Structure 1
Amino acid sequence: MKVTWKQVATWRMQRQYVHPRTKRTASEIVGRLCGVQAQVWSAAELAVALRQTTPDTDAVDRDVADLTLMKTWAMRGTLHLLRPDDAGAFLSLMADAGSWLKPSWTKASGVSPKQVDELTEEVSGILDGGAELTRDELVTRLIADKRFKGMEERLRSGWGSVLKPLAWRGALCHGPNKGNKITFTSPAKKFGADWKGVPEPDDAAPVAIEAYLGAYGPATADTFDRWLTLNSTSKPKLRKWFAALEDRLTEVDVEGRKAFILTEHADALADAKPCKGVKLLGHFDQYILGPGTKDDALLDAKHRTAVSRAAGWISPIVVVDGRVEAVWEIDGKELVVTPFDGVALPEKDLQKEATHVGKANGISGLTVRVA
C-alpha cells in the first residue's frame, strides 16, 4: 500500500482532532493522543483547548478533579496527563526499559538499583492508605529510615529523577497541589477501579503500540520507541512486540519509507485527501512530539532549532497543509508569527486561528503580526 506524506498528515490531523476539531472532553482527547505533556501545565491545557470546537479553558482542571485524568512521570521521563485506565501500559514499558539499572544512571543519581527497589517498596507502603504528601513530607518520612538518610538531597530535587522509576512501577503519581506544592499519592488508592495497575510488558506492549499507531501512524518500531523511551528499549524486544501484532498491522510505503498502520485504519488513510489550511498548536504539542521533531517530513531539518529549543523547550507551532512551517508567541494583544523561509501565510486564516488561540488563553481581541 502506497500513500503520500500529505495523506498521512491529513489522517493524523483527523485522528488527533487538529482538523476537524472536536466536542470531546479533555479525557477523551488525552486518551486519543496517548497523553499530553504536562511539565508546563499551560501546555496541557492548550493541547486540549485548541483541539476543541469551542475551547473549554477549565476542561483539564475539571477532569483532573473528577479523576478521569492523572498526572505522573511517563514517556521520556516527563510529566504527562494520562487516562488512569490507559496509563499502566505506557508506564510498564517505561519501567521495562530500566533506565535506573544502567551504571550511568547510578553514577548521575547516586542511587543503586537495589536502593530503587527499596524505595519503591517503602513509598508504596507509606502511600498505601491514600495519603497525599508533599515532597517534603514524603522525604521526611523516608529519611527516618537509615537506609534512605543519605539520599535526602537527591530525593528533594525538583526534577524528581530518583522518584521517576517509582512512578513507572506504579508506586506513586501526582496528587492535588497543597498551595503551590505538589503532592504524591498512590494511583491504586486515588483512582480505584479505573487504575488497572502496571501490567507485564508483553501484555502492555500491544496496548501501547496500537494506541500510538492510532494517533501517530504510520510509524516504525524505532519511532514508537523514540517517543516512548528515547530509544532505550532493546531492539530484539521491540521486534518481538511488533511481530506479535503482525496480523493487526499493515505495512505502508510513504514515499519510499516503510512504516506500519493499524489494518483497521488502512482504508481511511488510503482515502485521505490532502488538506489545505492553517492550524495553530501550542508549546509541547503532541502533533510534533508524537512523530518527533527529527521527522523531516513534518519539519524541515534546517528549522528544527526554531521548534526544539534550549533546555528541551518546544515552541508553539503553525501547521500549514500538515507541515510545521512557522512558530508563534503571544506578546500582549498580538500573536506574533515567525514563518520559515518566508513561507506565505494566508492572513485571513491566521486571524481566524488567532481568535481561537485567544479563546483558549482567555484573551479577547488578539491580532496577528507576522515577524
Structure 2
Amino acid sequence: MRLTWDQVFAWRLRRQYVEPRAASVSEIVARLCGVQAQVTSAAEMAVALRSSVPEAGALVGALNDGTLIKTWAMRGTLHALTPDLAAACLSLLASARTWEKPAWERNFGASPAEVAALTEELRRVLDGSVLTREELVDALLADPAFHRLGEQLRSGWGALLKPLAWQGAICHGPAQGTKITFANPAQLIKDWPGLPEPDAAASLAITAYLGAYGPATPETFDAWLSRGSLRKTVLRRWFSELGDTLVEVEVEGRHGYVLSEHLDELAATKPTKSVHLLGGFDQYVLGPGTGDTVLLPGDHRAKVSRTAGWISPIVVAGGRIVGTRELADDAIAVSMFDGAPLPKKGLKAAVDHLGAVLGRDALTVRAA
C-alpha cells in the first residue's frame, strides 16, 4: 500500500495525543513509549500539552506514587515509562551487553566482571532502602574493590549505573528536595513485572513503538532504542517473528512497517493543517529521530538538535517541523525555517493551549 507523508504525520499527531488529547498521564506515557525525562520540566510539558485537563506536576506525581518508573532507558537517557514497557525496553537494552565491549571499558573504566560485581552489591545495598546518590556511592565504596570507580560513580551522568538500570537493578526514586534518589524497582514500582527474556520483550517494545511512530524500519526502531547497538540479525528476526501483526507499506518511496490493525485507519487519514507548539525534548521528534529529513529538513536539524544533546521546543504545522520557539516574558518568539511567515490559521489556538498549560493567560506570539 502506498501512503503520503501528510497522511502519516496527521495519523501520528492523533496517535501521540497531540490532537485530540487524552485524560490519563499513564495513557499518554504508554502511547508515547515513554517520555524523555533528562529535564523534568520538559517531560511535564510533553504530558501536559497532550492532556485534556493539564495538571501541574502530574507526571512527577505518577512517578512518586510508583505508577510510572524513571530510569535510564532509550539511548541511555532518563525516561519516564510505564512498568511493563520499561521492563521490555530494559531487557532489549541489556541484551546488547554494551558494557562488555572494549570501547565501553575504555571510556568508563569498569570491566565486565566489575559491572557484574557492582550489580550484585547494588542489589544488596538497595534492599529495602531508598538512597540519595551520596548515600548510594558511600555504601558501594565501603567495599575496597570499588574504590577506583569512585569518580565515575559520583558522576552526574550515571554512566556506571546505566548497565545496572538496564538489568533492572536500579531506578530513580522520589526526589528529596534537590537531591535525586535511587531504589530497587521491584520494591518501589507498582506492578513491576521484572525483566522478561529479550525474545518475549521484543514483541511489546516493537508494537508499542510502531503504534506511535510507524511506519518505521527495524533500523529506525534500533536507533530510537539503543543507538544501533542491537545485533542486526537478531533485530530482523524479532520483526520477522511478528508475522502478520506487521505489514510493510510504502510512503513516497520509503518503505517501513506499521501494525496491521492500524492500516485501514492510516489509509483513511486525511492530511491536516493544524498548528502545534511542542516543548523541548518532545517525543514527536525524538521517536523518529532528528535525522528524519522528511519530518525535520536536514539543513535545519542543528536548530532543533543543538549542542550538549539539547532538543529545542518546536513548531509543527501539517505534522511537519517548520520552526522553533522560545518563551520570552509574555511572548512566544517563533523562528520559522527559511524565513517563512507565521502560520495564519491555528497558531492562536496553539498559543492559547500553551498558555493554559503554563498558567499564563496573556501570551502573545511574534516572529523572532
Report Cα offsets for 1:23-53 as digits up to 9, x if no partner: x211110000000000000110000011123
CA contact (8 A) 2:68 2:189 kept: no
* Aligned ranges 1:273-288 → 2 under 5 Å: 273-288=270-285
Q: Secondary structure at the match of 2:145?
A: coil
Count residues in correspondence: 368
Q: 2:226 aligns with which of 229, 240, 246?
A: 229
- In 2, the alpha carbon distance for the partners of 1:250 and 1:36 equals 26
Please name the residue that 2:269 is paired with: 272
CA contact (8 A) 1:252 1:258 kept: yes
Please name the residue that 2:195 is paired with: 198
1:60 CA displacement: 1.0
Q: Secondary structure at the match of 2:175?
A: strand
Aligned residue type for 2:358: N
Please name the residue that 2:165 is paired with: 167
Q: Is 1:361 matched with 2:358?
A: yes
CA contact (8 A) 1:94 1:228 kept: yes
1:296 CA displacement: 1.1
1:347 CA displacement: 4.3
Q: Is 1:293 matched with 2:294?
A: no
TM-score normalized by the length of structure 2: 0.98
* Aligned ranges 1:37-48 → 2 under 5 Å: 37-48=36-47
Aligned residue type for 1:7: Q
- In 2, the alpha carbon distance for the partners of 1:63 and 1:246 equals 35
Please name the residue that 2:82 is paired with: 83
Deviates more, 1:344-353 or 1:54-63: 344-353
Q: Which runs of 5+ in 2 are unaligned?
A: none
Please name the residue that 1:63 is paired with: 62
1:68 CA displacement: 1.2
1:66 CA displacement: 2.6
Q: 1:323 aligns with which of 320, 325, 346?
A: 320
TM-score normalized by the length of structure 1: 0.97
Aligned residue type for 1:88: A
Report Cα offsets for 1:265-310 as digits up to 9, x if no partner: 1110111111112111100000000000111110111110010001
- In 2, the alpha carbon distance for the partners of 1:11 and 1:110 equals 45
CA contact (8 A) 2:247 2:258 kept: yes
Please name the residue that 2:19 is paired with: 19
CA contact (8 A) 1:55 1:356 kept: no
CA contact (8 A) 1:25 1:59 kept: no
- In 1, the alpha carbon distance for the partners of 2:102 and 2:343 equals 52
CA contact (8 A) 1:299 1:325 kept: yes
Please name the residue that 1:333 is paired with: 330
1:191 CA displacement: 1.7
Q: Secondary structure at the match of 2:151?
A: helix
Q: Secondary structure at the match of 1:251?
A: strand
Please name the residue that 1:310 is paired with: 307
Displaced runs of 4 or more, over 4 A: none
- In 2, the alpha carbon distance for the partners of 1:350 and 1:273 equals 20
Aligned residue type for 2:166: W
CA contact (8 A) 2:64 2:173 kept: no
Please name the residue that 1:240 is paired with: 237
Report Cα offsets for 1:309-359 as digits up to 9, x if no partner: 011000000001010001001011110000001223334522221121122
- In 2, the alpha carbon distance for the partners of 1:317 and 1:331 equals 15
Q: Is 1:152 matched with 2:150?
A: yes
Q: Which runs of 5+ in 1 are unaligned?
A: none
Please name the residue that 2:140 is paired with: 142
- In 2, the alpha carbon distance for the partners of 1:352 and 1:9 equals 19
